[in-house]
Amino acid sequence: MHRPVKKLEKKDEVAIVEFEVTPIMSTYLVAFVVGDFDHIQEKTSDNVLVRVYTPKGQKEHGEFALQVAKKVLPYYNNYFGISYPLPKIDLVAIADFSSGAMENWGLVTYREVCLLVDPENTSTVHKQYIALVVAHELAHQWFGNLVTMEWWTHLWLNEGYASFVEFLCVAHLFPEYDIWSQFVTDTYISALELDALKNSHPIEVPVGHPSEIDEIFDDISYHKGASVIRMLHSYIGDEDFRKGMKLYLTRHSYSNAETEDLWAALEESCKKPVRAVMSSWTKQQGFPVLKVEQRQDGDDRVLNLSQERFLADGSVDEEKSLWMIPVSVSTSRAPGQVAFSEIMNERTKEITIKNVPEGTWLKINPGTIGFYRTRYSPEDLSLLLPAVKDRSLPPLDRLGLLDDLFAMVQAGHTSTVEVLRLMQAFKDEDNYTVWSSIVNIMGKLDVLVSSHEDSHESFKAFGRSLMRTVSKRLGWNPKSGENHLDTLLRSLALGRMAALNDKATIEEAKVRFDAYVSQGKTLPADLRSPVYRAILSVGDITTYETMLKLYREATLHEEKDRILRSLGALKDEALLVKVLEFAMSDEVRAQDTVFSIMSVAMNYRGRQLAWRFFKDNWKKLMDRYEGAFLLTRLVKFTTENFVTEEAARDVEDFFAKHPIPGTERTVQQSVETIRLNAAWHARDMEAIKNFLASQKYEEE
């Protein structure tokens, strides 16, 4: 914005007016905070004042966020080649806050659990999460604040980029996190799962009315946006990516931009057809599956590739969508390294990979970077199995292979038994991110089999057999020199073993919980979630009351949150009703009610209870959360895990009679997911039963 300043004079009958340039700040970035806080502060290496404001008496809990923010700003200054333009940045922990955080320029507001770290009570995974949230919000000081989207259609320019850059930054600050591997399980896979639905939407989605805005703050704008940027970053290389970012940010500083402006800047920096390639990913809904057929030609391998849109119901794409796919291939000679890469802009393509002897494997999409699924023939998949078992195939390729096959199973392209057999190849798996993907798949299989009591018990035995080796290797106590990912894996493995009714895990959890509650012994923060869920899974009214006592005594909000999210592990339906009622009480902050209800909905015994509770209290919930994306999340998690056509009609009919503005697309996605589950159940349940019944396990 230009404005005239005080000086106005005439020279030779010509009026001369001096102007100064005043930066424009979007009105949604203005914030004032009034409250009684403590704070700590330091300056960055380039002299920006960083302050973290905490509740009174908790300023030491802001130390981790302060140190992260102090390093994040100089990193971004250097990476983007543009300095943070303000003299200070404040990070404020807010007690009641519907969003996780908000990037107000120079005054970033956070929910307490997204900012505060107590060394004794904060888990390793949560500390890592806080580093990512801080990096995300500070990335917005450039993407969103310095350059603002022209309209909500381009929301992903804010959120997709910040979601990518947060990982870029945390990978630099904390290399021990191996955060890019976690990106695949936490971000990339969730985007693929949502985008396979017919009721998904393009990254660039037309927004015609303010009521539609909340709906696009979802895994497409954030997670798919970040995933296609990661793919683009790999395609053009880091150096040209940085040059393009600097050009884009410089050219549009203190103004608005559209997606095309970004492509123009990146194309200028790398001299590659960025606009043509990326428009196929942002303007059209969905993503492709790459079908692979192989044949041997002497010492060379010939690949016949064909692409089509991947749809979760296995149907054929009538629109004949086409993508420009950055295809890459690795071979057994150099696992994880790209042996071939090329843009595939046609429906079918034949490529030859030199020096790949017969009987050795090829892996499409090494590093799981391209935003697409791969479908191998059973013969080609079998070539990869030994590399899964001996772990010569890198972790991201192992989990990508499994996740792609599972997607083919859900779409009806192959039997569920095939993925159960592949999972057995992972018994000696040692990588946290691979296990995260396995646990995600097991959770979805559990939804399918939980209504069949005998099969459910057999499935739990299958899971215990699968996870016993990793659980025993890690044990309950950290090892000397243990790496970051093993710390995360211990909590994941113990929590899953407890959910699978492993007696030894539950008994040890009881001992540790009793020592913590009755004797005042330390229960490390990394173990609390699995221990709480384990003892609640076999708990009674006394256990429930004990957990409520811990909740009421907790001063750190993360601990309260951890307890609320664990209560859904109870199996007594009368107690689950109490959990739902407690969630709506004055003792639970409105922002946390949603997560407590969701924890009940994720329990197969509580699924119907949570849905009934939602229907009985829908007006109260709508009044409480109107206009907040929390309501959208609640709708999603209380509805999508049913497996019958009757449930699909129930959900459909309820929201037809009780429409909730801003949740329309979420309802459509949930109904579609329920019908996919029902079709999957009808198609494969008998084969799953037979497979599980045929297995023999040695229980300990």
Three-state SS annotation for 211-275:
HHCHHHCCCHHHHHHHHHHHHHHHHHCHHHHHHHHHHHHHHCCCEEECHHHHHHHHHHHHCCCHH
Which parts are annotated binding residues for Zn(2+)? 136, 140, 159
**β-sheet with 362-364: strand ranges across:** 340-344, 325-331, 362-364
Distance CA 33, CA 685 (A): 55
Give the sign of the dihedral formed by CA 569, CA 571, CA 575, CA 576: positive
Cα 234 to chain centroid, rounded:
20
Place of tokens 């499409």: 364
Place of tokens 């955060």: 179
**How many of the other CB atoms lie within 10 Å of CB of 9?**
9
Give phi and psi for 49, each to the nearest 5. -75, 125
Q: How many CA atoms lie within 13 Å of 223's alpha carbon, on the beta-carbon side? A: 19
Distance CA 114, CA 108 (A): 11
- Return the DSSP state at 185: I
| Beta strand pairing call for 288-297 and 300-309 | antiparallel
| Burial profile 176-214: b = 16 or more Cβ within 10 angstroms, e = fewer | ebbbbbbbbbbbbbbbbbbbbbebbbbbbbebeeeebeb
Residue 47 tokens read as 């002299």
Distance CA 390, CA 398 (A): 11
Strands (E), 619-675: none
Cα 70 to chain centroid, rounded:
25
Distance CA 375, CA 190 (A): 19
Which parts are annotated binding residues? 136, 140, 159
| Biggest CA pair distance of the chain | 100
Strands (E), 339-448: 340-344, 348-353, 362-364, 373-375
| Beta strand pairing call for 49-55 and 88-94 | parallel
Q: How far is CA 141 from CA 85, 189, 253, in A?
A: 9, 27, 11
Contact 640, 669 (CB under 8 A): yes
DSSP reduced 3-state for 287 = coil
- Return the DSSP state at 18: E
Which residues are catalytic, by number? Answer: 137
Contact 603, 569 (CB under 8 A): yes
Q: What angle do CA 32, 35, 41 make, to 5 degrees?
A: 80
Give phi and psi for 428, each to the nearest 5. -100, 15
Contact 602, 636 (CB under 8 A): no
- Return the DSSP state at 374: E
Contact 270, 318 (CB under 8 A): no
- Return the DSSP state at 41: E
Closest CA to 694 of 462, 503, 419, 499: 462
- Return the DSSP state at 143: B
